[in-house]
Amino acid sequence: MASESTTAHPFEDAPNHVTPTVVHDPILTKTDFKSVGTRPLRPDGLDKVTGRARYGADFNLPGQLVGLVLRSPHAHAKIKKIDTSKAEKLAGVKAVITAADLPDHTAGDQSMYDILENCMARGIAKYDGHAVAAVAAVDAPTARAALKLIKVDYEILPHVTDVDEAVKPNAPLVNPKMFTEGVEPKPKKASNIAKRTEFGHGDVDAGFKDADVIVERSFRTEQTHQGYIEPHACVASVSPDGTGELWVCTQGHFVYRNHCAMLLGMEVSKLRVTSSEIGGGFGGKTHVWAEPVALALSRKANRPVKLTMSRDEVFRASGPTSATSIDVRIGAKKDGTIVAADATLRFSGGPYYGMWAELGAMTAFACYDLKNVRTVGYEVLVNRPKTAAYRAPSAPMAAFAVESVVDELAHKIGMNEVDFRIKNAAKQGTRASYGPVYGPIGIGATLEAAKKHPHMKAPLGKNQGRGMACGFWFNFGGQTCTDINVGPDGSVTLTVGTVDVGGSRASLALCVAEELGVPYEQVKCIVADTGTLGHNDMTDGSRGTFSSSMAGIFAARNAITVLRERAAKMWEISVEDVKWEDGHAKAVGSKYGNLAPLSLKEIAAAAGNTGGPVAGHSEIVADGAGVSFATHIADVEVDPETGRSKIVRYTVIQDAGKAVHPTYVEGQYQGGAAQGIGWALNEEYIYGKNGRLQNPGFLDYRIPVCSDLPMIDTQILEIPNPNHPYGVRGVGETSIVPPLAAIANAMSNAFGVRMTHVPMSPPRVLKALEAAQKG
Amino acid sequence: MGVLVTTTINGDTVEFACDPHESLLDVLRNRLGLSGAKEGCGTGDCGSCSVQVDGRVVCSCLVLGVEAEGREIETVEGLSTGTELHPLQTKFLEHAALQCGVCTPGFLMAAKALLEKNPDPTEEEIRFGLAGNLCRCTGYDKIVRAVQDAAKVMRG
């Protein structure tokens, strides 16, 4: 149970997450398509334009209470005493809980214990916003009044919120029991560095000796939030018999089930979790926060409890991405060959052990074919919320640093930045800087496409600059379980366990329609609750469409086997003489020439007499998620008087393997680029000296609005992934990786100003411009 | 103590009692079962609770329920006529102007108000007209195209 629950969350466990690119014989079987590649309407669309779709906060149960959480106002404080007696006595309050109501069932599983402690502080509050108690009451005003009656006696401890400050020798310790892992001998002194990881190959020092030109720079990126518009929300109902139900907005209801069951000491099969429609996640809904609290409140009150986070709580107490500090050094020959590359990456993980610098270290140089490369990652503890995944987690910051230096190096050598990248790009057979050997990949193709793109030749206006950058993401496969059930009228239900974050129900129905040879409209795809299917990993790592389409295609093949058997029975011939083609069973050979093909509908109608319902199932670990590459081009206009920047033109070129529903693939490219643009120019967590978050709202944490952005051009390349029956690769994440560097490079090209601190907000840009003018 | 309010919502006369401090958004969602408007922030920054009050688009989280007295409220639930979708709804679907869809009700109401005032907006006018609504999924490209296309259909 312990190991299952942790491996189910790939971003907390790198070895399980990062699948080698070529793992087995290619299974690519199809390259001509009827349904795949078309652009039908999504099955959930109508409900979403009429207000009928039900998200996390749109669900209620009879007798439901309102849950609210009391949070620490301190960045780091010992909880000496919590007095809940007055709150408990308030009329209408049905339950008050603290950590004492969430006993430790984690049985030595440190990552689960960290999650438990993050859900409710156990003796020490470790960041501004850390939950310390919770109430359930008959209505919101009563619950709010009850929170005010809880008295917490804090002893304030020294804190550190800055990633560079945290690694200094005398920094306050976030966790006095943290001794750096991955260092020999094991340190005797505790520090805020949880882990050191190293990747690479060759001899980096020797490589630098061969270099004609070396560029070395240090970079910083500030912490950002996924910024999903829907706050976390759930309705929990636990009965005295130990069974429970949970309605929740999540990227992975099976993983939420496993985690909640463990934290509450429940049996997995007795907790049924239903995923609502999800109002954005981007990695931020891969992690439980409020859900175990809501379940514990419900258990204590013996009533259903609805718990919804406010926006302030989402910023302060969910899981933003890391703040980083990165040093990069790259050396090249005059002919443009990179001879050595080295990076040191420090990533904040909040108060807990993470694997964020590790992912940064793995992705940093993944775009390039390098003889000598080394990356070292340091996981840094700070008194900020526990870091969670954010779309291609850790890759954008690493790419910002590396792609900035690559650009500068190209210019120093006197080469065009696209040609320089083409010369050094990874290709099939390249040993990646993080270990595996690549299969067919798209980095070279995206660069060639960028070179030819009209955007590259378009004239620039006054105060405008153009930049480009590349990006990489591993992609993930993972555990997947899918059902196909054929109705008596021949209509098909495809039941999946991967949450639909952006149209995957349409894409999955297209793949199954393709395999069965029936129209898209005949296949209805639904996301099932945890009582209906076996375990499915999260929709993360760009795995939703990749893995569930693979399982869906396999399930369809199993259903076709059944359909052939039934047709054989109806015809009273051997199943070997029945083939499946264009949605029909057809008898093979001239002796059956007078047998008219049987449609899916006809076979389904007779199913009661031929063996019962027709179904197909598939349970797999979807190996072989093909890696993903993109190249972006950005035109930026900077106002030299204010330092304000505006993106005036933007192009995304990315390999999709096979674009199942091209419109939704474009949507992923555009959405990732927009998030990257916000990160590059505006978004950042700002902590005060007191360790409190200063901007926990959309007014002061400014994500891009419609008037901030231009249209975002997309170009889909299709280099089939040999490990998927239709060649599909995940497409969701890579698009957020290049924008930071592409925009920084554009500013450098326009003004000769090398921005090394993200976000490149107006004050930072203005300062850099003024410094450049002074020379 | 509740205050009795009489108002018109999507053409129907509606009576409800609410606390004086309760927002129109909470009344719509928690008392009237109209959960199309969403709470993304509760501070008027995201626009996902957008509704029209007497023809003007507002953040219903910043309006009190008692202020609905005697007004005409329009929500996303009233946008279609019977089974016939509003052109904005049709075009949002056709252009894939939604991914997660949680901001969509707010965008539809804001876009409707925009096109009622300006039936033939430029791209820039659309972008500034919708700048009070946050979308985190789409990058706005397909939303702008859907509004442009819907405007064309509505002009006839």
What whole-number distance in Å separates Cα of residue A661 and Cα of residue A511?
10
Looking at this protein, which amino acid is placed at residue A735? S
pLDDT at B1: 64
Q: Verify whether the Cβ–Cβ distance A670 to B138 is below 8 Å.
A: yes
Q: Verify whether the Cβ–Cβ distance A44 to B141 is below 8 Å.
A: no
Interface test with A, best of B48, B100, B135 (most A CBs within 10 A): B100
Residues in chain A within 8 Å Cβ distance of B76 = 49-51
CB of A3 within 8 Å of a chain B CB? The answer is no
CATH architecture of A451-471+626-775: 2-Layer Sandwich (3.30)
Give B21→chain A minimum CA distance, Å: 10
Give the SS3 label for residue A495.
strand
CATH class for the domain made up of B3-78:
alpha beta
Q: Verify whether the Cβ–Cβ distance A49 to B134 is below 8 Å.
A: no
Out of A50, A675, A705, the one facing B131 most closely (by C-beta) is A705
The residues in A 272-331 lying below 8 A from B, measured between CB atoms, are: 277-282, 308, 310-311
pLDDT at A774: 86
pLDDT at B29: 98
Out of A54, A280, A503, the one facing B136 most closely (by C-beta) is A280
Q: Which helix (H) or strand (E) holds A547?
A: helix A544-571
CB of B76 within 8 Å of a chain A CB? The answer is yes
- The segment(s) of chain B belonging to CATH 1.10.150.120 are 87-155
Strands laid side by side in the A712-717 sheet? A464-473, A628-638, A645-655, A712-717
Q: Verify whether the Cβ–Cβ distance A279 to B38 is below 8 Å.
A: yes
DSSP state at residue A619: E
CA nearest to B29 within chain A = A58
CATH class for the domain made up of A57-159+226-317:
alpha beta
pLDDT at A17: 43
Band the pLDDT of A19: cuts 50, 70, 90: very low
Cβ-Cβ contacts under 8 Å for A762 (sequence gap 6 or more): A642, A643, A644, A645
pLDDT at A14: 37
Cβ-Cβ pairs closer than 8 A, A with B, add up to: 178
Residues in chain A within 8 Å Cβ distance of B93 = 41-42, 45-46, 49
| Cα torsion angle, A152, A156, A157, A161, sign | positive
CB of B4 within 8 Å of a chain A CB? The answer is no
Q: pTM for the full model? A: 0.96
Q: Could you report the per-residue pLDDT of A234-289, keeping only the tens digit for each?
A: 999 999 999 999 999 999 999 999 999 999 999 999 999 999 999 999 999 999 99
Percent helix, strand and coil across chain B, each rounded to 5? 40, 20, 40
The residues in A 181-240 lying below 8 A from B, measured between CB atoms, are: 226-231
CB of A705 within 8 Å of a chain B CB? The answer is yes
Q: Would the pLDDT of A134 be above 70? A: yes
Angle between helices A544-571 and A504-516 (to 10 degrees): 30
Portion of chain A with pLDDT greater than 90, in percent: 94
Q: Could you report the per-residue pLDDT of A28-49, keeping only the tens digit for each?
A: 878 899 999 999 999 999 999 9
**Residue A185 CB burial class (10 angstroms; 0-12, 13-18, ≥19):** exposed
A441: nearest Cα among A657, A620, A731 = A657
Q: Could you report the per-residue pLDDT of A183-221, keeping only the tens digit for each?
A: 999 999 999 999 999 999 999 999 999 999 999 999 999
DSSP symbols for A166-194: HTSTTPPPS-TT---BT-SSPPSS--SEE
pLDDT at A27: 85
The residues in B 5-34 lying below 8 A from A, measured between CB atoms, are: 19, 29, 34
Q: Could you report the per-residue pLDDT of A525-554, keeping only the tens digit for each?
A: 999 999 999 999 999 999 999 999 999 999
A93: nearest Cα among A388, A300, A261, A343 = A300
Residues in chain B within 8 Å Cβ distance of A667 = 96, 99, 137-138, 142
Q: Verify whether the Cβ–Cβ distance B98 to A49 is below 8 Å.
A: yes
Portion of chain A with pLDDT greater than 70, in percent: 97
A371: nearest Cα among A426, A440, A329 = A426
Average pLDDT over residues A225-235: 98
pLDDT at A233: 98
CA nearest to B102 within chain A = A279
CB of A544 within 8 Å of a chain B CB? The answer is no
Band the pLDDT of A744: cuts 50, 70, 90: very high
Q: Could you report the per-residue pLDDT of A582-634, keeping only the tens digit for each?
A: 999 999 988 887 899 999 999 999 999 999 999 999 999 999 999 999 999 99
Residues in chain B within 8 Å Cβ distance of A39 = 96
Looking at this protein, which amino acid is placed at residue A591? K
CB of B131 within 8 Å of a chain A CB? The answer is yes
CA nearest to B91 within chain A = A49
Question: How far from each other are the two terminal CA atoms of chain A, in whole angstroms?
Answer: 62
Q: Are strands A712-717 and A645-655 parallel, antiparallel or unpaired?
A: parallel
Interface test with A, best of B141, B142, B147 (most A CBs within 10 A): B141
| Cα torsion angle, A395, A396, A398, A399, sign | positive
pLDDT at A18: 45
Average pLDDT over residues B103-130: 98
Cβ-Cβ contacts under 8 Å for B64 (sequence gap 6 or more): B20, B21, B22, B23, B24
Give B68→chain A minimum CA distance, Å: 20
- Sheet strands (E) in A731-774: 757-758
Q: Could you report the per-residue pLDDT of A399-453, keeping only the tens digit for each?
A: 999 999 999 999 999 999 999 999 999 999 999 999 999 999 999 999 999 999 9
What whole-number distance in Å separates Cα of residue A624 and Cα of residue A602?
37
Cβ-Cβ contacts under 8 Å for A208 (sequence gap 6 or more): A214, A329, A331, A339, A340, A342, A372
Residues in chain A within 8 Å Cβ distance of B145 = 711
Q: Verify whether the Cβ–Cβ distance A51 to B135 is below 8 Å.
A: no
Give A183→chain B minimum CA distance, Å: 40
pLDDT at A30: 84
CB of A703 within 8 Å of a chain B CB? The answer is yes
Q: Could you report the per-residue pLDDT of B39-85, keeping only the tens digit for each?
A: 999 999 999 999 999 999 999 999 999 999 999 999 999 999 999 99
Q: Could you report the per-residue pLDDT of A309-352, keeping only the tens digit for each?
A: 999 999 999 999 999 999 999 999 999 999 999 999 999 999 99
Out of B45, B93, B141, the one facing A699 most closely (by C-beta) is B45
What whole-number distance in Å separates Cα of residue A456 and Cα of residue A655?
19
Average pLDDT over residues A103-125: 97
Q: How much is the mean pLDDT over chain A?
A: 95
Residues in chain A within 8 Å Cβ distance of B136 = 226-229, 280, 282, 671, 674-675, 703
CATH architecture of A2-53+478-622: 2-Layer Sandwich (3.30)
Q: Collect contacts of A434-439 with beta carbons under 8 A, ≥24 apart.
A: A434/A18, A434/A199, A434/A361, A434/A362, A434/A363, A434/A366, A434/A375, A435/A20, A435/A199, A436/A20, A436/A21, A436/A22, A437/A20, A437/A21, A437/A22, A438/A21, A438/A22, A438/A627, A439/A21, A439/A22, A439/A626, A439/A721, A439/A722, A439/A723
Q: Verify whether the Cβ–Cβ distance A45 to B76 is below 8 Å.
A: no
Q: Would the pLDDT of A26 be above 70? A: no
Out of B39, B75, B140, the one facing A51 most closely (by C-beta) is B75
Q: Would the pLDDT of A5 be above 60? A: no
Give A456→chain B minimum CA distance, Å: 20
ipTM of model over 0.90: yes
CATH number, domain B87-155: 1.10.150.120
CA nearest to B46 within chain A = A698
Give B33→chain A minimum CA distance, Å: 9
CA nearest to B35 within chain A = A58
Average pLDDT over residues A6-25: 40
Average pLDDT over residues A374-388: 98
Average pLDDT over residues B5-17: 98
Band the pLDDT of A715: cuts 50, 70, 90: very high
CA nearest to A674 within chain B = B139
Q: Would the pLDDT of A704 be above 90? A: yes
Q: Verify whether the Cβ–Cβ distance B141 to A675 is below 8 Å.
A: no
Give A345→chain B minimum CA distance, Å: 28
Residues in chain B within 8 Å Cβ distance of A507 = none
Give the SS3 label for residue A555.
helix
What whole-number distance in Å separates Cα of residue A680 and Cα of residue A433?
26
Q: Could you report the per-residue pLDDT of A164-190, keeping only the tens digit for each?
A: 999 999 999 999 999 999 999 999 999
Q: Verify whether the Cβ–Cβ distance B101 to A277 is below 8 Å.
A: yes
Give B79→chain A minimum CA distance, Å: 7
Q: Verify whether the Cβ–Cβ distance B141 to A712 is below 8 Å.
A: yes
pLDDT at A25: 56
Q: Verify whether the Cβ–Cβ distance B40 to A229 is below 8 Å.
A: yes
